[in-house]
Amino acid sequence: MKTGALASTLAHGLRGRGTRFWLLAAATLCFGIASFDPAVRIEREVGTYMMVFDITQSMNTQDVGPADARIGRLDFAKQLAISALDQLPCGTQVGVSIFVERRTQPLLMPVDVCRSRGSLADAIDHIDWRMAWAADSHLYYGTYSALDDIRRMAPGAALAFFTDGHQTPALHPGRIPSWDGKPGEVPGVLFGVGGESPEPVPKLGEKGRIEGYWTPEDTAGFASAGAPTLSVADMERMGGDIRNAPQRAPGSENDHLSLRRDDILEDLSQRTGLATAVARSADQVARQLRALPGGRTAETRMPLRPLLALAGLALLIVSLAPASVARLLPARARPASRLTPVST
Amino acid sequence: MIAFDHPQWLWTAVLALLPLLWHGQRTLAHGWLPGVPHDPASRVLAAALRTLGALAVLAAALALASPHRQGEDIERIGTGAHIVITLDRSASMSDGFAGRGAQEGDEAKGRAAARLLEDFVRERPRDLFGLVSFSTAPVHGLELTADHDAVTAAIRASAAPGVGLTNIAAGLTMSLEQFKDKPVTGSRVVLLVSDGAAQIDARKQNQIRRLFAENRSALYWIFLRTAGGRGPSDPPDPEKGFDPAPEYFLNEYFRDLGVPYRLYEADTPDALARAIADVARLQNQPLRYRETPPRQELGGLFMGVSFLCSLLLLVARSLEVPAWSR
């Protein structure tokens, strides 16, 4: 019965001291421990992502964001990406790259989202359509280039490509560039940015003001990428006035208007194994990126001081609460009645 | 001045009023209160205990808001520089060097430059670095920053094959803009790394000259020679007919800028390494600069105050009398 005796002694001491004493003692302990900066190391699944931004001119189309304050697609994508940084756990690495013409150009290889948050936000914020070295937009080549960059320079990273899917000049059917990689080898998401109805593509001046819009006359002058080269014999066999017939891809009459081309993103996804999604919120972008396979575990430090300080604060205040307030607490936490008769 | 990382927690300081109202002390019934003698010492003790409680809550609330103090800048003499690395990312940067013995499969100029610049950054932990690259258009990489992880990441990114043309004027303008409206707290350098040159028109020439003068920045040009290409020190040959020799004239223009200027011609990775070492040496001249001391975390201090107050309260509580003694 030794343990029983010990317990009863303890219970007696506890009763003698009163609940308020023990609450205060616990508060003191919490404050004491929190004075030294205690922390626990927790392991978290984190990923590495290469964020690629399509900076071709169709991305300047102002058809995304809240209905009463439409902003350009690129600006919207940048906002989402910067807010998404804050929703990725520390230890996650993010790199930044831009796409125009047929190629991607990495600006920043992956760095830690917490330690280099300022630099990442700086790099993303400064992305601008004026960084373009050419005006064409061959999205298939661009996506393959983004995947190649990852394979060559940042193995293990996943791709987050923000694009509207608009290609200029349009491709001839059956002339779609193929990819020599293995689908799914590099995981990633193609985030579609843009509205669902065709909108005019603005021409921006040097200061970023809209100075006009692309017209059918402008786009009619585009080269027709991938048009089959016909010999004279072919033309004769096919009859008609082939030589003077338009050589542009069918369906490209409305190339001066732009909308989010989910069909093209879908086709790209079939070829490369990348997922597709419409980019709506930073929350969703961060969630979809975190769901991608190929993460690694990283240790992050979780400071305990806020937790201990809060607990101490609550305990201290409860220990001081007058009986009328304490009665509101559940019965077991209620301090011993102050009118308990004391044996002397 | 004390600043807070999470000022929203300061609202919990309101709770410090509670201990002033509530004492939580054991009360004992007494038959006739007016019969108790007036005791000023007890009143002082009661007030002190309430104040201790309030102080404990207040200090805990402040600690929750992560307080810290940012000291005044201190003037120091040392070696610190603000270096904007201006990198050529034109298509030709993927080609090899010119030097003797160059062959297929040698390291591309862009890649060698990236590798050596990374070492350069690593050896200069106190400097701020900015990064601008240019091909047909200038591309902002990073604002002047002390985040060297990001700087090396941006330099590594530049090792990707280049695209487009060499638009030096736009690159230089963007680099110089980085110094604008920033305090001069270190020597300023634009480190231009390119493998070609372009003619800069008169208007741009004047603009760049003005920007250099306004921002008091030095210029170091590391020229990476391409096989069969010419360098800035080869004057145009009148025998050969029309010869624009943009490298030569650009060098002449830079020499005439009126700011400290040096040209390094590198035709092998070794020569490039020597050039970078020389820049490092030049930038190690002592200079006066202001340094912000690392911030001082005060959370632990406030937590300690809470602990002390709480401990004193605990001592007081343990001295409480359970009943009137005779």
If you average pLDDT over residues A44-50, what whole number do you get? 90
pLDDT of residue A227: 61
Phi, psi (deg, nearest 5) at residue A54: -75, 120
Q: Answer whether residue A341 shows pLDDT above 50.
A: no
> How does pLDDT run across B99-127, given as a tens digit for each residue?
655 555 567 888 888 888 888 888 888 78
Q: Answer whether residue B234 shows pLDDT above 90.
A: no
Write out chain A residues lying below 8 Å of B300, CB-based.
35-37
B140, B148, B174, B177, best to mutate vs chain A, most A CBs in 10 Å: B140
Domain count along chain A:
1
Please report whether residue A129 resides in a domain.
Answer: yes
With 0-12 CB in 10 A as exposed, 13-18 as middle and 19+ as buried, what is A203?
middle
pLDDT band at A180 (very low <50, low <70, confident <90, very high): confident
Write out chain A residues lying below 8 Å of B322, CB-based.
16, 342
Please report whether residue A321 resides in a domain.
Answer: no
Please report whether residue A270 resides in a domain.
Answer: yes
Verify whether the Cβ–Cβ distance A36 to B300 is below 8 Å.
yes
Verify whether the Cβ–Cβ distance A317 to B138 is below 8 Å.
no
Please report whether residue A262 resides in a domain.
Answer: yes
Q: Answer whether residue A343 shows pLDDT above 50.
A: no
- DSSP letter at A185 equals S
pLDDT of residue A278: 94
* Structural domain of A122: 43-205+257-299
**Does B22 lie at the interface with A, CB-CB under 8 angstroms?**
yes
Please report whether residue A116 resides in a domain.
Answer: yes
CA A133-A104-B194 angle, 5° bins: 55
pLDDT band at A73 (very low <50, low <70, confident <90, very high): very high
**Nearest chain A residue (CA) to B297:** A37
Please report whether residue A16 resides in a domain.
Answer: no
**Nearest chain A residue (CA) to B136:** A133
**Nearest chain A residue (CA) to B322:** A342
If you average pLDDT over residues B256-263, what whole number do you get? 87
Verify whether the Cβ–Cβ distance B22 to A322 is below 8 Å.
yes
If you average pLDDT over residues B220-238, what whole number do you get? 78
If you average pLDDT over residues A154-175, what whole number do you get? 87
Contact B69, B295 (CB under 8 A): yes
Distance from the A237 Cα atom to the nearest Cα atom in chain B, whole angstroms:
41
pTM of the model: 0.74
pLDDT of residue A321: 81
pLDDT band at A1 (very low <50, low <70, confident <90, very high): very low
d(CA A148, CA A331): 66
Q: Answer whether residue A143 shows pLDDT above 80.
A: yes
Verify whether the Cβ–Cβ distance A31 to B12 is below 8 Å.
no
Q: Answer whether residue A336 shows pLDDT above 60.
A: no
Query: How much is the mean pLDDT over chain A?
Result: 83
Residue with the bigger pLDDT between A48 and B110: it is A48
Contact A93, A150 (CB under 8 A): no
| Closest Cβ–Cβ partner in A24, A123, A132 for B141 | A123
Q: Answer whether residue B229 shows pLDDT above 80.
A: no
Structure tokens at B325: 């003694």
Whether the bond between B244 and the residue before it is cis, its omega within 30 degrees of 0, is no
pLDDT band at A334 (very low <50, low <70, confident <90, very high): very low
d(CA B323, CA B318): 13
Distance from the B7 Cα atom to the nearest Cα atom in chain A, whole angstroms:
13
> How does pLDDT run across B45-99, given as a tens digit for each residue?
888 999 999 999 999 999 998 888 876 766 666 566 888 999 988 887 777 776 6
d(CA A99, CA A161): 9
pLDDT of residue A241: 66
- How many CB pairs lie under 8 A apart between chains A and B? 171
* DSSP string computed for A265-319: HHHHHHHH--EEEE---HHHHHHHHHTSS--EEEEEEEE-HHHHHHHHHHHHHHH
Domains and CATH numbers, chain B: 2-27+38-70+294-318 (no CATH), 74-291 (3.40.50.410)
CATH of the domain at A177: 3.40.50.410
Please report whether residue A79 resides in a domain.
Answer: yes
Query: How much is the mean pLDDT over chain B?
Result: 82
pLDDT band at A340 (very low <50, low <70, confident <90, very high): very low
Q: What would you measure as the largest C-alpha separation in chain B, in angstroms?
A: 123
If you average pLDDT over residues A85-111, what whole number do you get? 91
Contact A61, A255 (CB under 8 A): no
Could you tell me if the ipTM is greater than 0.95?
A: no
Picking from B278, B153, B163, B170, the residue whose alpha carbon sits closest to that of residue B221 is B278
Please report whether residue A222 resides in a domain.
Answer: no
Is residue A328 helix, strand or coil? coil
**Nearest chain A residue (CA) to B313:** A24
Q: What is the 3-state secondary structure (H, E, C) of A216-264?
A: HHHHHCCCCCCCCCCCHHHHHHHCCCCCCCCCCCCCCCCCCEECCCHHH
**Does B79 lie at the interface with A, CB-CB under 8 angstroms?**
no
Which of A113-117, A142-146, A171-175 reaches the highest mean pLDDT?
A142-146
Verify whether the Cβ–Cβ distance A153 to B159 is below 8 Å.
yes
